[in-house]
Structure 1
Amino acid sequence: MAALTRLLKPSHSFSSHISYIPRSLSTASIEEADPRFPSSPFSTPNPLPPRSDPKDRNVQWVFLGSPGVGKGTYGSRLSNLLGVPHIATGDLVRHELSSSGPLSLQLAEIVNQGKLVSDEIIISLLSKRLEAGEAKGESGFILDGFPRTIRQAEILEGVTEIDLVVNLKLPEYVLLEKCLGRRTCSQCGGNFNVASINIKGENGNPGIIMAPLLPPPHCASKLTIRSDDTEAVVKERLHVYNEMSQPVEEFYRSRGKLLEFDLPGGIPESWPKLLQALNLDDHEDTQSAAA
């Protein structure tokens, strides 16, 4: 754990280490980089462990986006496609919640109130996950739900090179419907969504169609709703996220690493366009990953 007691100098190399770069700007755009500005120094009891040499690893991407936008869905699909681990901080928190550890009660109170988990807790959980991955020989990652604050982004930049930050976007009223439609099978752990969204385009804005992701018959009677997926809590989460996301987006925009991607619909409509924006539409395993 000695590696967790210090921060490393950030690496300033980007283009020479990225394996895939967006080429399509029709549905997404990468902002031009401004001169890099230095990260503010600070101490932290649990900085993330240093990663392996960039020449010896796969892509290291971050997925940003409001709660319910689909970071987990698209992050896990890209994880399968590229052969890198998909690390969702939300999953790390839920795993800790299900444990009997001393942190579980504190986390339960925070999550049920729709508040954000503190930097210290998230960094501690993520540190354990990254160290476990390195011990197993993992190379590269797709981070989902981290960083959420400037402080977290500075910590991450201080110890590893992020190649690309994909910011998934949907209108807030669509996000609310999606969050309230989420269901999980209590037996197999499968994630589904009963919301059926069909919004006509108006005033120059495109329509959005998202079919429900219904469970198979053997899961239908075992569906559960997350305790924090109530309208009041979801609205609070969206409000908090919107307030905190702008500085993080600007942090990566100024470094030329932010890819804004407006989801045009559900998986059938969005997946091919996301692959095109990421220059992955001709990848040999695209079809199997889309299945």
Structure 2
Amino acid sequence: MAAITRLVKRASPSLSVSSTAARRLFCSESSSHAPPQDHFHAPQRKDPKDRNVQWVFLGCPGVGKGTYASRLCNLIGVPHIATGDLVRHELASKGPLSSQLSEIVNQGKLVSDEIIISLLSKRLADGEAKGESGFILDGFPRTISQAEILERVIDIDLVVNLKLQEEALLAKCLGRRICNQCGGNFNVASIDIKGENGSPGMFMAPLLPPAHCMSKLITRSDDTEAVVKERLRIYNEMSKPVEEFYRSRGKLLEFNLPGGIPESWPKLLQALNLDDYEEKRSAAA
């Protein structure tokens, strides 16, 4: 864990993470700002030396948050937590919030911040009871109010903001396909953007399905150019305050994806000071 410890203790200038992060990490909020106990069940805060990383991954729809967050979770041994999965799990579980969530979803409304934080806090408390230490949150918080609530409940160490050229992002979203038999996710887009005015080009190979899935691919009904562009516009508008919230606290890492996974993964590990960690883990396997 030496690489992870280095990251928390000292962020390099290239990460755009200021030294204030180290001073602000793990500081408890006053009880006057704590959320009502009937809504939140946050686990007790731990000293950083007694737990693993607590990170957030942000980025536009289709940028690959889930892919990179999941890979990092497997590498450093922490759970990958996506709030969308928590909502779907609660709906399927017939738990105390199931009927309320079902009504919200059926009416096409947004799930309230209180419910999302409650589900998240319960998930973290359950994980801690099982011996989990640390996590990577995928795509949350999405709004400034969610970020402010989260700040009172959990100590976030680092926020990784994944970015991708809009041309590539649009092509990725329009190239998404799902196998209607096995449920596998694939992408038929072959992205080859030429560099201009000294800027580097970008190539992203398609993620094609096996032959037996090829004839069963379907496109999401909302993956049209007009819908995707509007979705990206709304995200960019809502994300700016969240990014500034964490930037002002010295916790934001802006990472521009240079291409697909083969090009981006080693550079992301390098930016996170985890490149040697993967090498040591592979050698010890």
Fold match by TM threshold 0.5: yes
Unaligned runs of 5+ residues in structure 2 are none
Structure 1 equivalent of residue 193 of structure 2:
199
Higher CA-based Rg:
2
- Structure possessing the higher relative contact order (Cα contacts under 8 Å, 6 or more residues apart): 1
Match of 2:78 among 75, 84, 99: 84
1:220 matched to 2:208? The reply is no
Structure 2 matches for 1:30-41, cutoff 5 A? Answer: 30-31=17-18, 33=20, 41=33
Give the CA deviation at 1:229.
Answer: 2.8
Structure 1: distance between partners of 2:199 and 2:281: 30
Question: Where does residue 47 of structure 1 map in the other structure?
Answer: 40
- Deviation at residue 237 of structure 1 after TM alignment: 1.9
Please say if residues 197 and 208 of structure 1, whose CA atoms lie closer than 8 Å, have aligned partners that are also in contact: yes
Q: How does 1:163-182 map to 2 (within 5 A)?
A: 163-182=157-176
Q: Bigger CA drift: 200-209 or 39-48?
A: 39-48
Q: Which range moved further: 66-75 or 46-55?
A: 46-55
- Contact in 1 for aligned 2:188/2:207 (Cα 8 Å): yes
Deviations 1:224-263 (A, max 9, x none): 4334433333222211211111111111111111111111
Task: Give the 3 Å change call, closer, same or farther, for CA 223–129 of structure 1 in structure 2.
Answer: farther
Could you say if the C-alpha distance between residues 159 and 106 of structure 1 is closer, same or farther in structure 2, counting changes exceeding 3 Å? closer
**What's the CA shift for 1:204?**
3.3
What is the aligned partner in structure 2 of residue 12 from structure 1?
none
The match for 2:153 among 156, 159, 175 is: 159
The alignment covers a number of residue pairs equal to 267
* Structure richer in helix, relative to its length: 2
Structure 1 residue 221 displacement after superposition? 3.6
Q: Between the two proteins, what is the percent identity of the paired residues?
A: 72
What is the root-mean-square deviation in Å for CA atoms of aligned residues?
A: 3.2
Alignment of 1:229-244 (within 5 A): 229-244=223-238
Amino acid at match of 1:46: H
2:16 counterpart letter in structure 1: S
Match of 2:63 among 62, 65, 69: 69
From the superposition, tell whether residues 80 and 16 of structure 1 become closer, same or farther in structure 2 (CA, over 3 Å): closer
- What TM-score, normalized by structure 2, do the two folds share? 0.80
Say if 2:27 is the partner of 1:29: no
Contact 2:6 2:273 in 1 (8 A): no
How far 1:160 sits from its partner (Å)? 1.9
Q: Deviations over 1:50-76 (max 9, x none)?
A: 345133211111111111111101000
Contact 1:177 1:195 in 2 (8 A): yes
* Aligned mates of 2:143, 2:181 — CA distance in 1: 35
Correspondences of 1:277-288 after superposition (within 5 Å):
277-284=271-278
Deviation at 1:22, TM superposition (A): 4.8
- Give the counterpart of 1:106 among 104, 110, 118: 104
**Hey, what's the Cα distance between the residues in 1 that align with 2:182 and 2:126?**
24
**Alpha-carbon deviation of 1:201?**
1.1
Instruction: Tell me the alpha carbon deviations over residues 138-158 of structure 1, each in whole angstroms, 9 at most, x when there is no partner.
Output: 110000111112221122221
**1: CA distance, partners of 2:280 / 2:211:** 28
Counterparts of 1:260 and 1:136, CA distance in 2? 33
Q: 1:280 to 1:18 in 2, by over 3 A?
A: closer
**Cα distance between partner residues in 2 of 1:268 and 1:281:** 14
Q: For residues 186 and 62 of structure 1, do their structure 2 counterparts lie closer, same or farther at Cα, with a shift above 3 Å needed?
A: same
Contact 2:43-2:125 within 8 A present in 1 as well? no
Structure 1's consecutive aligned runs of 4 or more residues displaced over 6 angstroms after TM superposition are: 97-100
Q: Which runs of 5+ in 1 are unaligned?
A: 1-14
